[in-house]
Chains A and B, each alone.
Chain A
Amino acid sequence: MIRLENVSLAFEDKVILDNISLSIKKGEIAVILGPSGAGKSSIIKIMVGLWQPDSGRVFIGNKDISKLSESEMLPLRRKMGIVFQGNALFDSLTVEENVSYFLKEHGSLKSSEINAKVSEILSFINLEGTEKICIDQLSGGMKKRVAIARALSFDPEIIFYDEPTTGLDPINAKSILDLIKRVSERGATSIAVTHILNDAVSIGDTLSVINDGTVVQTGTVQDMLASENKFVKDFFYVVYQDAALLKNKKFYK
């Protein structure tokens, strides 16, 4: 569904992405895992065509988008939804206005159809009753849900999440992760980037660990745990630690 081939990107002299190759299958939840500043957000921006790579190719389906102009990107953008790291909601507008914003912008839909769509989405993400609340009055977890709701407004085939649980408490984080799984069950291909190991393990069908703009390892959780790579071992160290802890304390039989 999505394929990066030898993608590189630099800003001035600083290399951000160095020869990245990745492949994401239709319908799966792919997690890109890496520490802060590894280039996670940059990969997402390249995948949705907001940035063009300096070299390499980016395929969505069979189409190479790495050189497409803004207007050539348009039809593809209708198939993608993106949840930004900082949500990027329009903060002076209400929940309803945010979710319906792009439906109104591009829509061929009548306003009654837009309203129906918005309430369908809001009930899917368990936010009924918040339609008229202004974004700046919402909690972090709710904002994230609204951002997901907006991304769902065009029933995207592919949905991108940039650090969906960063800054949320464990309860809210878990409900966002559950939501991501439910969205995926609707049939969307999902790509999530995160630095939180727990999230990656709990939702990821496949993981790719990146560091300093390069892919260190890709595979399933088992592959990661079996990896001999030093960086992967360090990154997954807490998993071993937690496992040991749980065993000692006998939380589980």
Chain B
Amino acid sequence: MASTITNFKKKIYTLQEYTFMLRELFLSLKYVNKCKRDAINEMYLVGSQAFLLVLLGGAFMGIILALETGHQLDLFGAKNLVGRTVSLGMVRELGPIITGLLLAARTGAKNASEIGAMQISEQIDALRAFGTNPVLKLVMPRTIAAMVMFLPLTAVADISGILSGMVVSKLSLHIDTSFFWHSAISALLMKDIFVGFAKPILFAFFIATISCFYGFQTRGGTSALGKNTINAVVVTSLIVLVLDLIFTKVVWELL
């Protein structure tokens, strides 16, 4: 019982530390152009190098979605709805989720392990001791890079999902490609696109800040580094799922 309470206290304390970091991040917004160069570097790492991963992730989602729904809809003679289903499914849910999860793993692990290694080798202390704010130097560029790059990457996942859905629909359900494309595009409303692209911005913010935070929290040696990297990936993945649910349930109803 006592240990449950201390554990709980520790959790609350960690949450408090995280909010302090976020506060620091917002306060250092006024120096944001100091980290332009770092941010561009990070964008390259987050963005261009994750391109193929996201392209493939989106494609597989699109194929699975088209096949699964196609066969079910075919039972009711409604296979013409496949295009619609795939495009709405990709843009509203699966595109952002698959991008979010893939990047939570990739960017999350990168941030947590990089900053964690800097923490245990005293490089973070060195930054502070020589008067550089580690949050501005390390968290800001990573957060900006993630928020900027997640949008186009989500678009890549969406489009690759719809296109590959179109191809398998043609091959296995014999749905005409131009018909599929037309129904896919006309099904999308402004609202779908808005929600589909608001999510990744939010995911990006939390993935970047939480994974950096876990990096900063690393104390001790290599095993702590491994553990915190795992924690960062697990927590950011969960956050992606939870935020997605909140969006689907709450934001969608409000709009």
Interface residues of A (CB under 8 A from B): 45, 48, 50, 70, 73-74, 77-78, 80, 82, 84-86, 88-91, 101-102, 105-106, 150, 154
Contacts and interface: CB of A to CB of B under 8 A. Distances in A.
A184 to B, nearest CB: 20
Given A77-B130, A77-B131, A102-B130, A86 B125 contact: no
A50 B130 contact: no
Interface in B112-164: 121-123, 125-126, 128-133, 137
A69 to B, nearest CB: 11
B121 A88 contact: yes
Chain A at the B interface: SS class: mixed
A77 B123 CA distance: 16
A70 B131 CA distance: 9
Contacts of A84: 122, 125-126
Contact of A82 (B121, B123, B129, B137): B129
Contacts, number: 44
What are the nearest 10 A-B pairs in CB distance? Answer: A88-B122, A88-B126, A77-B131, A102-B130, A84-B122, A82-B129, A88-B123, A105-B132, A74-B131, A48-B129
A106 B132 CA distance: 8
A85 B122 contact: yes
Contacts of B132: 102, 105-106
Given A84-B126, A88-B126, A78 B131 contact: yes
Interface residues of B, number: 12
Contacts of A85: 122
A106 to B, nearest CB: 6
B130 A70 contact: no
A51 to B, nearest CB: 9
Chain B CB within 10 Å, residue with most, of A70, A77, A88, A150: A88
B129 A80 contact: yes
A85 B129 CA distance: 14
B129 A77 contact: yes
